Chain A
Amino acid sequence: MKPFFEARQLSYAYPRGSLAVRCVSFQVPPASMTAVIGANGSGKSTLVRMLAGLLRPASGEVVLDGTALHAWEPRARARHIAYMPQVTATAFPFRVADIVLSGRAPYLPRFGFDSRHDRERAMEALESTGAAHLADRILSALSGGERQMVILARALAQEPRLLLLDEPSTSLDLKHRADLMRTLARLREQRGLSVIMITHDLQLTGSLFDRILALRSGEIAALGPPDEVLRSDLLADIYGEPNVRAQRMGNQTLVWIDA
């Protein structure tokens, strides 16, 4: 399918730092799932923050439907792209329901309140992540995993075409991790949602993602289907760990460290 989202020659440097991302280009078709992998400090979060419009590239551009991302009106852009950060820590005791409803902000009239339709969409998003029972709870009182599911629900309430996730599975237990992946797979089927997700869970990437984008020192080290990227030699190079091993078994890839 024709790509609707594109990174063109993206580079970024933090103040007084060297380039964190260098000349990264790739395209995102509808209903696609892309995993972003790489060692700590390889530029994964910086790249995804540029894709979300949170960082302005030093050079290159992010293009959505043929228009540069920075030229989009922010609320219009928010109806297409949702972002789930690694951690959301709130300074105030917000209720889960209020957090999820905030995902409807891009759809509200400038001075209006949430409509019945908005509340229904928010509730659906909360149900789809299995967190409906938490609606009345205070976000900061939840466990890390529960909090992640609520923030995912907030992102889904935006009804985006592209969902950017920065290591969402870090604080999730096995069950919540499976729930997350099932939810993403279902939304891809039902709504044509595209997903770009940073992860360190290489087992996860082998079976659920169409392709993997591997970064090394801010540059693309590999971009392709899991069976092409999840190779012992390539992973050893990306992570700087010579003992990493990968083996394809059916549609899964087993990755381990050979001590």
Chain B
Amino acid sequence: MNRAISDTPRMRLVKTAAILTPVLLAAVAVGLTVGRQHIDFGNLLSDPFARTLFFRLRLPRVLMGMLIGSSLSLTGCALQALFRNPLADPYTLGVSGGGALGASIAIALGWSARVAGIPLIFLASFAGATAAVFLVKTIAQTGAIVLPGALLLSGVVVNLVAAAAVVAIQYVADPTSALRILRWIVGSLDVVGLEPIRLMFFLLAPAWLALLALSRQLHLLAIDEDTAATLGVNVRRCETAVHLLCSFIVGVTVATGGAIGFVGLVVPHAVRLMFGEDLRIVLPGSLLLGAAFLVLADALARTALPSSELPVGAVTGLLGGPVFLWLLRRRQQYSMM
């Protein structure tokens, strides 16, 4: 039998997990050990300072990096498949910008309440992200076709308008709210204690699983919409589910960590280069590599400068921008970009 057919997706998935799990563990080890403050791991349990530093700051920050990195990579991969556009990600499609605007409005209005245990700021961010994705799609859609160039341009415009609105809100908000909003502009993984991590995990994990459960449909949609429809995919239902799931995941991550750019672009393409185009492999692979990527990017952000920390969004932007341009240059390999 031909090698291409005998190389099964199941084998490729096992290979992907076998390679990327150690990569993630190594990234976590790096993330936990590097930082401006040295932690004496030998005395972790006996030294209260080391314990506080590790359990209240370093560990939550690494876990936050994993959650946000996985979320952005997974949604980037799903949005690329949904729109059949290799340059799509939550940042380039304006989803992160919409989420940041929703979160900024909630902060400026002092919405600190919770609905069914979910902070209102998360819901506002989800609403902003959902509105952005529908707006961008509506602008880019002509009949049944979503024009790839128009999609990216409308995403850029939505991002710019959202960023301008965030700045305007920042100016009219009180100084405390203005300072909180400032972190949304570039993104940060600052977190104290494990409680916010627990909340995020319980919100994000079901949405991840739901998105992973759609991986076969997304794989067929990534080939071609008509192909997917004639192979048994309910295209409209799948599109709606992916829109809502991606908006929710991005909304929660943006409300917590801000608009961290390009993670959803860089990571899925790295997984594709290593393990092929099958979304049933690229989606879970992106989940693992996304976590590792953001933990390492944050470790770099924390240690790159001798006297202060860089925002992690600046590091991912500096790494992701050139990758975006490189993909743009490679567009002749793709027929529909």
A residues sitting closer than 8 Å to B (CB atoms) are 15, 52-54, 73-78, 81-83, 85, 88-103, 105-106, 108, 111, 113-114, 119-120, 122-123, 126, 132, 135-136, 138, 140-141, 154, 158
Q: A78-B232, A85-B227, A102-B219 are in contact. List 15 more A-B contacts (CB 8 A).
A: A54-B230, A74-B234, A82-B230, A85-B224, A91-B84, A91-B334, A92-B80, A92-B334, A93-B334, A102-B227, A102-B231, A123-B1, A135-B5, A140-B335, A141-B333
Q: How far is the CB of B79 from chain A (nearest CB, A)?
A: 12
24 pairs, CB–CB < 8 Å, chain A vs chain B: A53-B230, A74-B233, A78-B232, A81-B230, A88-B227, A89-B335, A91-B148, A91-B334, A92-B272, A93-B333, A94-B222, A94-B277, A97-B2, A98-B276, A101-B5, A102-B219, A102-B223, A105-B232, A106-B231, A113-B8, A113-B280, A114-B8, A135-B4, A135-B5
A97 CA to B276 CA in the complex, in Å? 11
Q: How far is the CB of A147 from chain B (nearest CB, A)?
A: 10
Residues of B within 8 A of A74 (CB): 229, 232-234
Does B10 count as interface, using CB distance less than 8 angstroms? Answer: yes
A73 CA to B5 CA in the complex, in Å? 28
Q: How far is the CB of A227 from chain B (nearest CB, A)?
A: 33
Q: Hey, what's the 0/1 contact readout for B64-75 against A, CB within 8 Å counting as 1?
A: 000000000000
Q: How far is the CB of A103 from chain B (nearest CB, A)?
A: 7
A141 CA to B231 CA in the complex, in Å? 24
Which chain A residue shows the least CB distance to B222? A92
Evaluate contact between A90 and B234: CB separation under 8 angstroms.
no
Residues of B within 8 A of A114 (CB): 8-10
Q: How far is the CB of A17 from chain B (nearest CB, A)?
A: 11
Of the candidates B2, B4, B85, B280, the one having the most CB atoms from chain A within 10 angstroms of its own CB is: B4
Does B6 count as interface, using CB distance less than 8 angstroms? Answer: yes
Does B241 count as interface, using CB distance less than 8 angstroms? Answer: no
Residues of A within 8 A of B272 (CB): 92
Instruction: Given A85-B226, A106-B232, answer yes or no on A97-B277 (Cβ-Cβ < 8 Å).
Output: no
Does B118 count as interface, using CB distance less than 8 angstroms? Answer: no
Evaluate contact between A89 and B336: CB separation under 8 angstroms.
yes
Q: How far is the CB of B277 from chain A (nearest CB, A)?
A: 5
Q: How far is the CB of B84 from chain A (nearest CB, A)?
A: 4
A15 CA to B219 CA in the complex, in Å? 30
A106 CA to B231 CA in the complex, in Å? 6
Which chain B residue shows the least CB distance to A74? B232
A89 CA to B84 CA in the complex, in Å? 10
A48 CA to B226 CA in the complex, in Å? 12
Q: Hey, what's the 0/1 contact readout for B1-30 against A, CB within 8 Å counting as 1?
A: 111111111100100000000000000000
A123 CA to B335 CA in the complex, in Å? 25
Does B337 count as interface, using CB distance less than 8 angstroms? Answer: yes
A12 CA to B84 CA in the complex, in Å? 28
Residues of A within 8 A of B336 (CB): 89-91
Does B105 count as interface, using CB distance less than 8 angstroms? Answer: no
Instruction: Given A97-B5, A113-B8, answer yes or no on A54-B229 (Cβ-Cβ < 8 Å).
Output: yes
Give which listed residue, A90, A100, A103, contacts B335 with CB less than 8 A: A90
